[in-house]
Structure 1
Amino acid sequence: MSRRRLIGAGLATVATGLLAQDATAPHPAESNLSTSPPPMLLPPPARPSPSASPSAGPAPLSRPVYTLKEFRQFVPGPDFAPNAVALTIDDGPHPAWTPEVLRLLERHQVPATFCLIGNQVLGHEAVARSVVEAGHQVANHTWSHPAQLATMPPEQVRQELDRAQEKIHETTGQTPTIFRAPGGACSPAVFAEAARAGMTPVNWDRDPRDWTRPGTSAITERLLGARAGDILLCHDGGGDRSQTLAALRTVIPALQSRGLRFVVLR
């Protein structure tokens, strides 16, 4: 893996002095060139649309993906390394905690998937861009993190997904192909709308429940139980994430020392 760029000093300045709490509730495709003479100059290809057409997206699933093995069953691509694990980080971007997490990941050369909330990208655009600039993947975590997403009517589900997709794409230039439902709760409407937008719903199989702030040692112990093929869940938003950060300082090098390799969901 090529070394990612370090986060600029300007980002650190953004984080300095900001409160560790945020305002959210805790946990809350190109024209074909004609070969007929005379040759024509075509405009540059358009940037990918935030919302894929129904034919372009994956078929709706009936359950979320929980492991790397399951992910590859639904998303074509080379097999993940047998020692691979994926770190997913939810509820950001946060102006103080996301830069801290990015610095830690850079130190250990770890890629991660950041599941962004649309209304958290709003106002924190520089932080969201820094995630992509550092080489990480971004995913769609809805616009407003509604805990009741699984019970919402399809039109409201579509609005939550599309509004976040548009904001993330507009801000970072990256169109998410991964969707993470708040709390992991899905429904037929959620699966259908995610597929329409070209996204695969991904949950996790290693949850330290760090959003509850159970203590650094509890988060550390739960994450150290990770095995090859696991998808790990952590948070950089939704409140004070000092315990999560402290735990990751121990967990990341410990898992690497066991021969585990961090990957993103592609």
Structure 2
Amino acid sequence: MQKDQLFTRRGALLAGAAAVGAAGTASVFARGTGAGTPAGPGAPAPGAPAHRLPMKPSAYRLQPLTGYGPPRGAAARTPVRSEPLLRITGRGRAMVLTFDDGPDPRYTPDILDTLAAYDVHAMFFVCGEMAAHHPELLARMADEGHTVGNHTWSHPLLTKLTRRQIRSEMTRTSEVIENAYGERPRWFRAPYGAWNRAAFQLGSELGMESLAWTVDTLDWTSPGTGTIVDRVENGAAPGVVVLSHDAGGDRTQSVRALRRYLPQLLDSGYHITVPRRQHT
């Protein structure tokens, strides 16, 4: 683009910017009531840690020019919570499906294929060391409308780390997600469900809400495909957030279970959705 063309474009955009108002902000999640209780640092929920892989340098991605758009209102501050969010609210018969510890090229593509077959979106809480090796899967998630959250770099027990270590786990993962997915994550989930004050505070500083779950499939224990299906169907209710895994071990049962319970949920009138936070 020639220099005079760039200045002409910028001038035209800035001239029309004054007519545009800033959008309000809202949050679609609330503290859970009824089903489930928040996981605290004293009793972390079980889960399988992601495979530790050697770190690879992230590919540099050019960012679009900034400053050539309408003025934006001040971003709403992400609240510092004392317990994670557990369920969605105010959306009728809506549920959220979440998958942790990936992406894993052995299982994540099959899960994405099933979701695409039924035209539904899910959340993927990814580990940075896995995402750094498989950025193409995060790019696919972005293309297909899924939400990607931060699940730390190496899946540690945060309650055993220093504040500096927790920040590093979160920040490195957010950077990898931004490079591969196209934007920084707005959601965070602590490994094993073990939050502490530092995790809430640092997550807030990085613009992330803390999301837990209301239905744990315990698929990481390999209980059998039928058992996983039963746990999802028995726990199904408006506002429920389901926890499953697409990495961290053999997830064949998780893949097969999704193929069975997803169409049954849809036939029962449930709407599978993803969170839509409007503030950054």
TM-score relative to the length of structure 2: 0.72
Q: Is 1:175 paired with 2:200?
A: no
1:79-105 Cα offsets, whole Å, 9 max, x none, are x42110011111111112111000000
Q: Give the counterpart of 1:58 among 67, 78, 86.
A: 78
1:98 maps to what in 2? 108
Matches within 5 A, 1:75-224: 80-146=90-156, 148-224=157-233
- Match of 1:89, SS? strand
1:32 maps to what in 2? none
Q: Give the counterpart of 2:48 among 27, 32, 39.
A: 27
Size of the aligned set, in residue pairs, is 208
Instruction: Tell me if structure 2 keeps the 8 A contact 1:56–1:198.
Output: no
1:253 to partner: Cα distance: 0.6
- Match of 2:92, SS? coil
Cα distance in structure 1, aligned partners of 2:170 and 2:76: 16
1:131-156 Cα offsets, whole Å, 9 max, x none, are 1111111000001110x212322111
- Match of 1:81, SS? coil
Pairwise CA RMSD of aligned residues?
1.5
Cα distance in structure 2, aligned partners of 1:128 and 1:177: 15
One-letter amino acid of the counterpart of residue 223, structure 1: V
1:56 to partner: Cα distance: 5.5
One-letter amino acid of the counterpart of residue 240, structure 2: D
One-letter amino acid of the counterpart of residue 59, structure 1: P
Query: Percent of aligned pairs with the same residue?
Result: 38
1:117-140 Cα offsets, whole Å, 9 max, x none, are 100011111122111111111000
1:36 maps to what in 2? none
Instruction: Tell me if structure 1 keeps the 8 A contact 2:102–2:127.
Output: yes
- Match of 1:234, SS? strand
One-letter amino acid of the counterpart of residue 158, structure 2: L
Instruction: Tell me if structure 1 keeps the 8 A contact 2:79–2:209.
Output: no
Q: Is 1:234 paired with 2:244?
A: yes
Instruction: Tell me if structure 2 keeps the 8 A contact 1:138–1:174.
Output: no
- Match of 2:101, SS? strand
Q: Is 1:255 paired with 2:276?
A: no
Please identify runs of 4+ aligned residues in structure 1 that moved more than 2 A: none
- Give the gaps of 5 or more residues in structure 1: 1-25, 29-42, 47-54, 70-79
Instruction: Tell me if structure 2 keeps the 8 A contact 1:68–1:231.
Output: yes
1:4-34 Cα offsets, whole Å, 9 max, x none, are xxxxxxxxxxxxxxxxxxxxxx711xxxxxx
1:67 maps to what in 2? 87
One-letter amino acid of the counterpart of residue 249, structure 2: G
Cα distance in structure 2, aligned partners of 1:243 and 1:142: 24
1:158-200 Cα offsets, whole Å, 9 max, x none, are 1110010011101121211000110111000000000000000
